[in-house]
Amino acid sequence: MEKILVGLKRVVDYNVRVRVRPDNSGVETDGVKMSINPFDEIALEEALRIKERGQAQEIIVVSIGAPEAQQQLRTGLAMGADRAILVETAEAVSPLMTAKLFLALIQREKPGLVILGKQGIDHDNNQTGQMLSALWDRPQATFASKLEINGETARVTREVDAGLEVNEIDLPAVVTADLRLNEPRYVKLPDIMKAKNKPLDVITRDELVTAATADIQPVTYEAPTEREKGVMVEDVAGLVTALKDKGLL
């Protein structure tokens, strides 16, 4: 295939404790370390391995968000991607809007495969890949733990509740990466320096999808309630009584 399109979302680093803003308008990001969504990093690593096997010619990484997302795109370029696209918008976008923006990019770039992380660690929606597949009217394989490209088809091993499921899908298609698909490579300093010279195009959201398109917007954010301290009981009868006192029985 000629191109693989990979989504890279800018999220609060997984080592950072997430805090809600005092006005409940969102998650606090000022002064907080930001990184590539871990599942998206796995998706990019898989695309790079496909290219290294001679099964793709170009890897394009895409991010949707503020200008600061260029940092994550540059990291993707340092990992080995050939080109980056930032869809710049000051507003948060829902999974549906994200899928619509990716669809518009697909129509421009004509990739043979789109690989996304199965979900973002910020909102945990796990929706964009499935929505994109439906809008694009192409096959999908989610939660991939193994991906094999065979000409015009892909063989995908995916993780399900009962174990592993193997599907064969026609390309072009959407694949979402699970945790055990691979281990992303370490970015070296020379690669970071080379990435500065790789192309990074910036386009606005309205160039792809008009602002009038219906979207879903969050109303408020709240931190989870603190877990109550555990209670020790002496026997089964005490456990039953404690559960009744809490209204659980």
Query: Which pLDDT band, with edges at 50, 70 and 90, does 214 fall under?
Result: low
> In whole angstroms, what separates CA 136 from the centre of its chain?
18
Give me the pLDDT at residue 129, please: 95
Give me the pLDDT at residue 159, please: 85
* Lowest-confidence region among 44-58, 175-189, 219-233: 219-233
| Alpha-carbon distances, residue 150 vs 12, 53, 55, 168 (angstroms) | 36, 12, 9, 10
Domain regions of the chain by residue span? 3-245
* Strand (E) or helix (H) holding 35: strand 34-36
**pLDDT digit string, tens, across residues 18-55:** 888 888 777 877 788 889 999 999 999 999 999 999 99
**pLDDT digit string, tens, across residues 81-136:** 999 999 999 888 889 999 999 999 999 999 999 999 999 988 888 999 999 999 99
d(CA 117, CA 142): 9
**pLDDT digit string, tens, across residues 15-27:** 888 888 888 777 8
8-state DSSP, 155: E
Rounded to two decimals, what is the model's pTM? 0.84
Residue 162, token pair as written in the block: 């009962």
Give me the pLDDT at residue 213, please: 59
pLDDT for residue 212 is more than 60: no
Q: Which CATH superfamily is domain 3-245 in?
A: HUPs (3.40.50.620)
Give me the pLDDT at residue 80, please: 94
* Pairwise pLDDT comparison (221 vs 60), residue with the higher score: 60
Asked if 57 and 169 count as a contact pair (C-beta separation under 8 A), the reply is no
Give me the pLDDT at residue 43, please: 97
